[in-house]
C-alpha cells in the first residue's frame, strides 16, 4: 500500500467556508488549549462558496419584523419539509451571529443614514431583512473570518482533499479522516478526537451551476460511503439568474444576485416580454423554485437569447441607484460585455444549492459519535426550498454551534483511537484505481454527466426522465471505474483530481435521482409533471438515502411539526407599518 503520513490533532475541521471558520474560532475560544486544524481543498480564505455570496444574510433586526415571521417565511418557503427545530435555531441564532460578525470579527455591512444596518428585499420573504455589504457580502465575511483564524495560530492543511471518513477499529466513533496532499500527491491520515464535516455541497454535476470550481460534493459522498444517512436529496435549488456568457467561459453560471429582482429587476424573454406572471402572481419576487421553473418552461418554448438563455433588465429603474446599490454586479456584467444599467443581461437558471444533506441534530452531532456537521453538507434546515440570504446564515450559525459543542465534547469524551485499517486500505486503492486503467476522456464523461442531470434530474422531472437519468448515471459510474488517467507523478495532478471529483459528483447525482424517484408529488425545488400537485402538508414526509453494499437504499419518515403545524402560524399579529 502507498505510504501514508500521519498527523494527530484534537479537532479537525473539513472546509474553510463560513461554517468551518466559525467553528474554528468558537472551538479556539471555548478550549484554547486544544489543537485545532482546518483542512481545505483550496486555500483558506480564497476558495469555497461562502466567499462567493453576493446577496446577504437574513436576520430579523427591525422592530417591525420578528423572529417568528422569519421562521414562518423559512417554513413556508421550505414547503413544510423543514426540521423545525433546526430552522428555529437558525432564525434565533442569526441575530446573535450577525452582531458577532460586526462587533467581534470586524465585518462592516451597509448602513442606513441613521446608522442602523441596511436590509434589502429578497424573494419569498414578508419583510426586507437581508443584511449585506453591497453585492460582495461573502468576501467581507470570509476575509474577516480568515484574518481572525490566521491571528490565532490555528493549524492549516491547505490544498488537502478529504477522501474518506475513517471510523474507529470497533466502529464506535470516528477516528479521523484520510486525505490527499494535492501538492505532493501523498496520502495523509489525520487522527482527531472530533471532526467537523463542513466541505459545502455545491451541485456542480449540472450543466449550468454556480458553485466554485473546487466543489464536487465530496462531503456528502464521504458520508454515504461511511454508511450515514442523507435526507431530502431530491431538493436541489436552481438560482434563477446565472450569467450566460457562452460555452467558452467558466463565468457562465456565475450568479447575478437576487437583490436585483428584489429592487425591481425584470425578467424578459427573447420577444422582450415579461412572462413570470403566468406562473405566479408574485412575478420576479416569487421564490427561487417558482422563478426557475417559469424560466425553464419559457426556455423550452424556444423564446431564448443567442446563448439559449433569457434576460434580466434594470433599464427601467434609476441608473444611479443601480450603479450605487449593485456596483459589483454592474462591474461583473461589464467584464463580459453586458450592460446591466441600460441594457439586457442574458441569464439562465443554474444549479446553486442543495437543501438535502447529512442528517444532523441541533447541536450539529451526527449518527457517528465524534463526527459533527454544519453548512451545506447538512439537510433539514431549509426543507424543500432555501430562501435567498438563509444560506450564509445557516453556515455561520451552525458553524459557531459546532465549535462550541466540539470544544466541550472533546474535553469530556475526546480520545485518539485506533482506526479501522481496512477503510483506509480500501480508500487508498479506490483513489489510485485510475492509475491502473487505460487513460480516457474525462472531459467527455463530465459533459455527459452534466447533460444527464440537466435534462433528466433537473428543474422539471418525470418518472421516465428520472429512470433514464439514474440508469445513465449508474452506467457512467461503471464507465468511470474503467477509465484511467495518464501515467505520471501524483503531485499537483489535476487530471487525477478531476477523476476524483467525478466519482463524488456521480454518486451524489445518483442519490438525487433516487430520492426524486421516491417523492411522487411536487414540492419546492422538486417538480414532477407526472405528479404536479403537492400532497397533503399534514402528511409530509422526508426522504432518506443511504449506501448499502454499493447500492443506494431509500426510505421516508414523517416530518415532525414540533413548533407549528400546517394551517397554523406563530405570528401573533399583522406586521406593524409606519
Residues that are catalytic: 239, 261
Determine contact, residues 399/97, Cβ cutoff 8 Å. no
Distances in Å between the alpha carbon of 547 and those of 15, 421, 454? Answer: 23, 20, 23
Report the alpha-carbon distance of residue 504 to residue 216 in Å, rounded: 6
Counted residue by residue, the chain has a size of 578
DSSP letter for 536, please: P
Closest CA to 496 of 184, 189, 210: 184
> What is the DSSP annotation of 124-151?
T-SS--EE-STT-HHHHHHHHHHHHHHH
Q: Where are the alpha helices (DSSP H) in 104-214?
A: 137-151
Written as nine digits, the cell of 14 is 473539513
Report the alpha-carbon distance of residue 540 to residue 559 in Å, rounded: 6
Rounded to the nearest angstrom, the gap between the alpha carbon of residue 238 and the centroid of all alpha carbons in its chain is 11
Burial environment of residue 298 by CB neighbours within 10 A (0 to 12, 13 to 18, 19 or more)? buried
Neighbours of 251 (CB within 10 A): 14
Written as nine digits, the cell of 303 is 423564446
Determine contact, residues 55/389, Cβ cutoff 8 Å. yes
Cα dihedral 167, 184, 213, 130 sign: positive
Q: Look-up: residue for cell 446563448?
A: 307
Cα end-to-end distance, the chain, whole Å: 70
Amino acid at each position: 500500500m502507498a505510504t501514508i503520513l500521519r498527523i494527530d490533532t484534537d479537532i479537525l475541521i473539513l472546509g474553510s467556508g463560513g461554517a468551518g471558520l466559525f467553528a474554528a474560532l468558537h472551538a479556539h475560544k471555548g478550549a484554547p488549549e486544544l489543537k485545532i486544524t482546518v483542512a481545505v481543498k483550496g486555500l483558506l480564505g480564497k476558495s469555497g462558496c461562502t466567499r462567493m455570496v453576493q446577496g446577504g444574510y437574513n436576520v430579523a433586526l427591525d422592530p417591525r419584523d420578528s423572529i417568528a415571521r422569519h421562521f414562518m417565511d423559512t417554513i413556508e418557503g421550505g414547503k413544510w419539509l423543514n426540521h423545525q427545530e433546526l430552522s428555529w435555531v437558525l432564525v434565533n441564532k442569526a441575530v446573535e451571529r450577525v452582531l458577532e460578525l460586526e462587533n467581534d470579527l470586524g465585518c462592516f455591512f451597509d448602513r442606513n443614514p441613521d446608522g442602523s444596518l441596511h436590509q434589502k428585499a429578497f424573494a419569498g420573504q414578508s419583510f426586507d431583512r437581508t443584511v449585506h455589504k453591497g453585492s460582495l457580502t461573502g468576501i467581507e465575511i470570509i476575509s474577516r473570518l480568515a484574518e481572525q483564524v490566521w491571528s490565532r495560530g490555528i493549524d492549516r492543511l491547505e490544498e488537502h482533499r478529504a477522501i474518506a471518513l475513517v471510523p474507529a477499529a470497533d466502529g464506535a466513533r470516528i477516528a479521523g479522516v484520510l486525505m490527499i496532499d494535492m501538492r505532493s500527491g501523498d496520502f495523509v491520515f489525520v487522527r482527531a478526537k472530533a471532526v467537523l464535516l463542513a466541505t459545502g455541497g455545491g451541485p456542480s454535476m449540472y450543466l449550468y451551476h454556480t458553485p466554485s470550481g473546487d466543489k464536487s460534493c465530496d462531503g456528502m459522498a464521504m458520508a454515504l460511503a461511511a454508511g450515514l444517512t442523507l435526507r431530502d436529496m431530491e431538493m436541489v435549488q436552481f438560482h434563477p439568474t446565472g450569467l450566460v456568457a457562452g460555452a467558452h467561459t467558466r463565468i457562465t453560471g456565475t450568479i447575478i444576485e437576487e437583490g436585483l429582482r428584489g429592487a425591481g429587476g425584470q425578467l424578459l424573454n427573447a420577444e422582450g416580454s415579461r412572462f413570470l406572471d403566468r406562473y405566479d402572481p408574485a412575478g420576479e419576487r416569487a421564490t427561487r423554485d417558482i422563478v426557475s421553473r417559469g424560466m425553464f418552461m419559457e426556455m423550452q418554448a424556444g423564446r431564448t437569447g443567442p446563448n439559449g438563455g433569457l434576460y434580466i433588465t434594470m433599464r427601467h429603474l434609476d441608473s444611479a441607484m443601480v450603479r450605487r446599490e449593485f456596483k459589483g454586479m454592474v462591474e461583473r456584467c461589464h467584464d463580459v460585455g453586458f450592460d446591466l444599467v441600460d441594457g439586457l443581461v442574458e441569464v439562465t437558471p443554474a444549479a446553486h444549492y442543495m437543501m438535502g444533506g447529512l442528517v444532523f441534530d441541533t447541536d450539529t452531532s451526527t449518527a457517528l459519535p465524534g463526527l459533527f456537521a454544519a453548512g451545506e453538507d447538512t439537510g433539514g434546515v431549509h426543507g424543500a426550498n432555501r430562501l435567498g440570504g438563509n444560506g450564509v446564515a445557516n453556515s455561520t450559525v451552525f458553524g459557531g454551534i459546532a465549535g462550541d459543542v466540539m470544544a466541550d465534547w472533546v474535553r469530556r469524551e475526546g480520545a485518539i483511537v485506533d482506526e479501522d485499517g481496512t477503510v483506509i486500505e480500501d480508500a487508498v486503492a479506490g483513489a489510485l484505481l485510475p492509475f491502473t486503467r487505460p487513460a480516457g476522456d474525462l472531459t467527455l464523461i463530465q459533459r455527459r454527466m452534466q447533460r444527464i442531470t440537466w435534462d433528466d434530474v433537473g428543474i422539471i422531472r418525470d418518472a421516465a426522465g428520472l429512470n433514464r437519468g439514474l440508469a445513465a448515471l449508474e452506467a457512467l459510474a461503471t464507465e468511470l471505474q474503467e477509465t484511467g488517467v495518464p501515467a505520471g507523478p501524483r503531485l499537483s495532478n489535476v487530471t487525477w483530481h478531476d477523476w476524483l471529483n467525478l466519482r463524488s459528483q456521480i454518486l451524489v447525482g445518483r442519490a438525487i435521482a433516487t430520492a426524486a424517484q421516491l417523492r411522487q408529488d411536487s414540492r419546492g425545488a422538486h417538480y414532477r409533471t407526472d405528479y404536479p400537485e403537492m400532497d397533503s402538508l399534514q402528511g409530509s414526509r422526508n426522504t432518506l438515502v443511504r449506501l448499502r453494499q454499493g447500492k443506494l437504499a431509500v426510505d421516508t419518515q414523517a416530518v415532525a411539526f414540533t413548533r407549528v403545524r400546517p394551517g397554523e402560524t406563530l405570528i401573533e399579529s399583522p406586521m406593524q407599518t409606519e
